[in-house]
Amino acid sequence: MWNLEKNIKRDVQKALYDFDMIQEWETVLLWVSWWKDSMLLWYILNEVRKTIKNKFNLRWVYIFKEFLIDCDIQFEEKRKYYEDVLWIPLEKVNISLPEDSKLNDWVWQNCQRCAYARRIAMMKLCKKYGATKIAFGHHMDDIVVTTFMNMIQWRKLKIMPPVNKMSKWDITFIRPLAYLRESDILKLVLQKEIPFSPCSCPVWEDTMRNKIKKEIIWPNEKILPNYTENIFWALIKDFREKYEAWWYSM
């Protein structure tokens, strides 16, 4: 019988090994959102940590974006799941910005600025916890779509890499779900009854990311077998050939 959780756990462990994502006793900071990808990452990394030889530490943090579009959906329900079911403490941290920051004005808010604000907050928290890695819930579909976005919007061939060292901060971004399809993530989240919330952002439907998924990726998947997987593995092969010797940094 096909065991979805076993296969996902295997693929996550393979990604950790292939890209040497986490070293023994290293502290990894996980930013918690309520999306299915985020919730699945935190669940599966906790399961992996129980079984592998090289142990590592995890810190769960929920970034409350008081100045951004309200995404604080059913916080207490999710906190209860972390603390009562997974036995993981969840810390809630509010991002503060300078008064003259454009992000304080809703008109200036978009996906890129929102993500930038969260990541800066996370990198600052790394110092507090002695963390050297930040784990994100991006999966195979995200990596392919981001590559299309970079080509269409910015005229450059650049992927969202599974491992990305931020040399200025001496912190590395890792994406343990890189080998997983979004559809399998959703199946396991529903199967394990992991609580999650859909995106509540009012600009989501109009984003370039969403347009690429609906107008390029999904139609081609219907007529071309393994469309997304083949693009992904071609990108990963190119990534490893170009950057593996000295690693990928920004």
φ and ψ of 51, to 5 deg = -110, -25
* 177 in a structural domain: yes
Q: What is the DSSP letter of 174?
A: E
- Read off the pTM: 0.86
Given a contact cutoff of 8 angstroms between Cβ atoms, the answer to whether 65 and 117 are in contact is yes
Tell me, what's the pLDDT at 107?
Answer: 47
Domain with 197, as residue range(s), is: 4-243
* 231 in a structural domain: yes
Q: pLDDT in tens for each of the 250 residues of the chain?
A: 469 999 999 999 999 999 999 988 899 998 777 788 988 998 999 899 888 877 888 888 877 665 555 555 667 777 787 788 777 777 777 766 656 665 555 544 556 666 777 777 788 888 888 999 999 999 999 999 999 999 998 899 889 999 988 877 789 999 999 999 999 999 999 999 888 877 666 666 668 888 999 999 999 999 998 999 999 999 999 888 876 655 545 4
* 146 in a structural domain: yes
Q: How many domains does the chain have?
A: 1
* 250 in a structural domain: no
* 249 in a structural domain: no
Where are the extended beta strands (E) located within the chain?
27-31, 57-64, 90-94, 133-135, 163-166, 171-174
Please state, in angstroms and rounded to a whole number, the distance separating the CA atoms of residues 6 and 132: 28
Vertex 246: Cα angle to 240 and 250 (nearest 5): 90
Domain of 127, CATH number, reads: 3.40.50.620
Tell me, what's the pLDDT at 250?
Answer: 44
Residue with tokens 């991002």: 95
* 212 in a structural domain: yes
CB neighbour list of residue 153: distance below 8 Å, 6 or more residues apart: 208
